[in-house]
Amino acid sequence: MRILMLGAGAVGGLFGGRMSAAGSDVTFLVRERRADELKNGLRIESPHGDATIPVKTITRHDAGELFDVIILSCKAYGLPGALDTINPFVSPGVPILPLLNGFAHLEIIEQKIPSAIVWGGTAGIVATLTEDGIVRQMHPNQVIVAGTRNDHTDSQSRLEALVAEMKQAEITATASPDIERAMWEKWTFLATLAGATCLMRGSISEILATDHGEALIAGLFDECNQTAAAEGHPPRQSSARHYSGMLFDRSSSFTASMLRDMEVGSLTEADHIIGDMINRAERHGIAAQLLKLAYSRLQVYEAQRTG
């Protein structure tokens, strides 16, 4: 398959780099500065071993090539610009796989590119892009779940081919028959994790060590799961148990990437992850008071950052 990966940061760089190293035909669509950084290879530091991987790159000015699938690995706040960038590469029948958290991005892509086949997907990694352009993976997990949507079953064979190539790269990849529910399940977990760790500026274990930390996390998780159920995507018991185990692990040093963004003064995905969850909750009469408290903290941070 010819794969176009929009972005070579933590998500795109790790997964695209792994696939390139395993022999997949991956081209990174990046800005000129990042293309210059990658001329000597994509550098990955990882529990799986460090590597410098030769990769192919193009910029938005190199339109004309055809691809079998386009993967988006941008942040939610960068989505409008990302869609403008990939638009010249979108052709009939070519699916787009966004590896973004939350849900609203699916609707945004379909509105911006009505002819697109938009798959759903989730990515599970703990990684960051360092200032000197290294993709640093902090945990060995590297998971992708993807699935077709809106009755685009004619693209199922292409999805399965992509998943097979991901597995060859030692990515734990799965083709989900109910990808929207899987996305909601991850979103409820992530909104809880981000809400708690950003509000308290601490890890899961530090929050749980306080007198009322467990109640805070449980309340946030309940608000998110109520919203998911009201939107028609109640979490499966197995998924709820899995994410609960992560959220209530008293030995966990886990924090949300949103907190790491705050710690370095970066823009966050607060609107996309927590703000959109609140909007959907309010449509169904769910008060979401704890989510609103966490969102207010993030809005204060954004105001201080820009001010």
**Residue 294 to residue 197: CA distance in whole angstroms:** 9
pLDDT at 203: 97
pLDDT digits (tens, 9 = 90+) for 199-215: 999 999 999 999 999 99
Span 87-112, average pLDDT: 93
**Residue 61 to residue 65: CA distance in whole angstroms:** 11
Q: Helices 10-21 and 156-168 meet at what angle, rounded to 10?
A: 80
E strand intervals along the chain: 2-6, 25-29, 42-45, 51-53, 56-58, 69-72, 95-98, 117-118, 120-124, 127-129, 135-137, 143-147, 172-175
| CB neighbour burial string for 37-72, b if at least 16 within 10 angstroms, e if fewer | bbeeebbbebeeeeeebebebbebeeeeeebebbbb
For the chain, what is the mean pLDDT? 95
Q: DSSP string covering 218-237, please? A: HHHHHHHHHHHHHTT-PPPH
User: C-alpha distances in angstroms, 246 versus 42, 60, 186, 255, 268?
Assistant: 31, 40, 12, 11, 22
Q: What angle do CA 120, 122, 128 make, to 5 degrees?
A: 140
97 forms beta bridges with 71
Query: Considering the domain 2-177 in this protein, what is its CATH number?
Result: 3.40.50.720
Does residue 65 carry a pLDDT above 90? no
**Residue 59 to residue 38: CA distance in whole angstroms:** 12
pLDDT at 98: 97
**Residue 273 to residue 233: CA distance in whole angstroms:** 16
Query: Considering the domain 181-306 in this protein, what is its CATH number?
Result: 1.10.1040.10
**Residue 86 to residue 13: CA distance in whole angstroms:** 17
pLDDT at 77: 94
pLDDT digits (tens, 9 = 90+) for 115-150: 889 999 999 998 999 999 999 999 899 999 999 998
Question: What is the Cα gyration radius of the chain?
Answer: 19
> Locate tokens 């309940």: which residue?
222
pLDDT at 11: 96
pLDDT at 115: 85
Does residue 78 carry a pLDDT above 90? yes
- Paired tokens of 235: 């979490």
pLDDT at 207: 98
- The domains of the chain are located at 2-177, 181-306
pLDDT at 225: 98
Tell me 266's DSSP state.
-
Does residue 63 carry a pLDDT above 90? no
Whether 195 contacts 220, CB under 8 Å: yes
What is the percent of the chain with per-residue pLDDT over 90, rounded to a whole number?
Answer: 91
pLDDT digits (tens, 9 = 90+) for 271-285: 999 999 999 999 999
- If one compares 154 and 217, the residue with the highest pLDDT of the two is 217
Residue from 64, 62, 60 nearest 83 by CA: 60
**Residue 265 to residue 119: CA distance in whole angstroms:** 32
Residue 65 has φ and ψ, to the nearest 5°, of -75, 155
